[in-house]
Amino acid sequence: MSSTLVRVGLVGVTGYTGMELARLLAVHPSFRLAAVTSRQEAGQTLAEVYPFLQGFAVGDLVVSLPDADALADACDLIFLAVPHGAAMSIAAELLARGRKVVDLSADFRLRDTAVYEKWYGREHSLADALAEAVYGLPELYADRIAAASLVANPGCYPTAAILGLYPALARKLIDPDDIVIDAKSGVSGAGRGPVLGSLFCEVQDSFRAYSLGSHRHTPEMEQELSAIAGRPLVVSFNAHLLPVNRGILATIYTKPKDPGLSPAAAREAYASAYADHPFVRMLPAGRLPEIRSTRGTMFCDIALVADARSGRLIIVSVIDNLCRGASGQAIANANLMCGLPLAAGLGQAALVP
Ligand SMILES: NC(=O)c1ccc[n+]([C@@H]2O[C@H](COP(=O)([O-])OP(=O)(O)OC[C@H]3O[C@@H](n4cnc5c(N)ncnc54)[C@H](OP(=O)(O)O)[C@@H]3O)[C@@H](O)[C@H]2O)c1
């Protein structure tokens, strides 16, 4: 599949992750966007829906209604950028037609249907597909992603938290029972639907916490972090809404198992764990990451601070929720599934200032 253009489809092109996928796919060297869907905007060209795509070949593509037969005819691989629940039924139809699927929703992330049903409040009707789904975090599961037909793209907060904690947990540097993940996200994380809490005047010039102790990304983090630690663990995960469009900054408070863990030893563990993973950037000692350095990119920027006074190892992990935390990561997974280089089409530097 790697020598010719791969035909890809996008269900949910009018959402924020769909918008980001369209932006990235417009210039991807090996994927050709062959079908895009929206129930609200069907019949318009992509350039009419998104003026920023005028002048790109994808701008002439006409948005269609979501239809599994048409998608399966037109595409080899389909991105599902739709809410959980909707993704499950569309994925089932596409998989039955022999197509590869990258699902950006939470429908195939949780291994245990009972956990899904508890946190998402709906029945999981596709246990067979779930058993085949691979969690799409390339730094951990690249080989399995490459062989998968169905990839569950990770959530945005879990991407930042898992990448931030992976070396410390895998190398048993920290106490798995004492982890606090204090994370902040830009407003696009809530989707493009018009809801009161996302309106400009509700968000701009303010800052608030939400879903403390009850955010739906908690079981996803615990599932993956438990697998890394080799035993079940519970985290305290708390979310906050930043008055910016994009970006996640997670400050993660941990307790080193060895109170004498030196900052240099901690940094060395992270540097070697991520030596072969170019999308994770360890910042030099004394530097702290900021969201603008990752805007529109696949980078996860991580800094470590050994706070000797409180006996904490503090990990700061930063990503762009729409690119690394959703659509860019979905493309990286699709690259692997199609035998392409992980970073194909994802080589951008951050959009600054
Ligand atoms: N926003 C983020 O930062 C982020 C990060 C990681 C993962 N995710 C996940 O990615 C998915 C998409 O998120 P988003 O923020 O892009 O959502 P969004 O802005 O609300 O967009 C949802 C899209 O799905 C379409 N859609 C809704 N219901 C549908 C249905 N029943 N059948 C077919 N299409 C439907 C909508 O278009 P029409 O209504 O016109 O069909 C729209 O294009 C969600 O599952 C979300 O949890 C989001």
Is residue 305 within 8 Å of 314, Cβ to Cβ? yes
Closest of 73, 69, 70, 86 to residue 12, by C-alpha: 86
Residue bearing the CA closest to ligand 1, atom 17: 191
Question: The dihedral of CA 263, 270, 291, 243: what is its sign?
Answer: negative
6-132 maps to CATH 3.40.50.720 = yes
Residues 6+ apart with CB under 8 A from 213: 236, 237, 238
Residue 192 in contact with ligand 1 by CB distance below 6 A: yes
Q: Report the separation in Å between the CA atom of 114 and the middle of ligand 1, taken as the mean of its atom positions.
A: 23
Residue 64 in contact with ligand 1 by CB distance below 6 A: no
Q: Given this model, what pLDDT does residue 2 score?
A: 44
Residue 18 in contact with ligand 1 by CB distance below 6 A: yes
SS3 15: coil
Summary mean pLDDT of the chain? 97
Fold held by 157-321: Dihydrodipicolinate Reductase; domain 2 (3.30.360)
Residue bearing the CA closest to ligand 1, atom 46: 105
Residue bearing the CA closest to ligand 1, atom 27: 82
Atom of ligand 1 nearest to the CA of 66: 33
Q: Given this model, what pLDDT does residue 1 score?
A: 47
Q: Report the separation in Å between the CA atom of 301 and the middle of ligand 1, taken as the mean of its atom positions.
A: 26
CATH 3.30.360.10 range(s) for the chain read 157-321
Closest of 242, 256, 347 to residue 291, by C-alpha: 242
Q: Is the pTM of this model over 0.95?
A: yes
Residue 321 in contact with ligand 1 by CB distance below 6 A: yes
SS3 318: strand
pLDDT per residue as tens digits for the range 16-45:
999 999 999 999 999 999 999 999 999 999
CATH 3.40.50.720 range(s) for the chain read 6-132
Residue 22 in contact with ligand 1 by CB distance below 6 A: no
Write the DSSP assignment of 190-252 as a string of letters.
G-SS--GGGSHHHHTT--EEESTTT-THHHHHHHHHHHHHTS----EEEEEE-SSSS-EEEEE
First to last CA, the chain: 38
Q: Report the separation in Å between the CA atom of 89 and the middle of ligand 1, taken as the mean of its atom positions.
A: 14
Residue 14 in contact with ligand 1 by CB distance below 6 A: yes
d(CA 23, CA 15): 12
Q: Could you give the angle at which helices 156-170 and 138-146 cross, rounded to 10 degrees?
A: 100
d(CA 222, CA 234): 6
Is residue 232 within 8 Å of 123, Cβ to Cβ? no
- Which segments of the chain have a pLDDT < 70? 1-3
C-alpha distances in Å from residue 175, one per residue of 135, 179, 251, 333, 344: 25, 8, 16, 31, 37
Q: Report the separation in Å between the CA atom of 100 and the middle of ligand 1, taken as the mean of its atom positions.
A: 19
Question: The dihedral of CA 190, 195, 198, 199: what is its sign?
Answer: positive
- As beta bridge partners, residue 312 has 307
pLDDT per residue as tens digits for the range 69-107:
999 999 999 999 999 999 999 999 999 999 999 999 999
Give me the numbers of helices (H) and strands (E) for the chain, helices first please.
12, 13
Out of 156, 300, 323, 338, the active site residue is 156
Residue bearing the CA closest to ligand 1, atom 15: 191
C-alpha distances in Å from residue 82, one per residue of 37, 38, 93: 10, 10, 15
**Other Cβ atoms closer than 10 A to 99:** 20
Q: Report the separation in Å between the CA atom of 138 and the middle of ligand 1, taken as the mean of its atom positions.
A: 22
Secondary structure (H, E, C), 33-55 = EEEEECCCCCCCEHHHHCHHHCC
Residue 287 in contact with ligand 1 by CB distance below 6 A: no
Q: Which of 23, 82, 244 to mutate to test the pocket of ligand 1 (most atoms within 8 A of CB)?
A: 82
What are the backbone dihedrals phi and psi of residue 180, each rounded to the nearest 5 degrees, phi first?
A: -120, 120
Q: Report the separation in Å between the CA atom of 81 and the middle of ligand 1, taken as the mean of its atom positions.
A: 5
- Answer yes or no: 300 catalytic: no
Q: Given this model, what pLDDT does residue 4 score?
A: 86
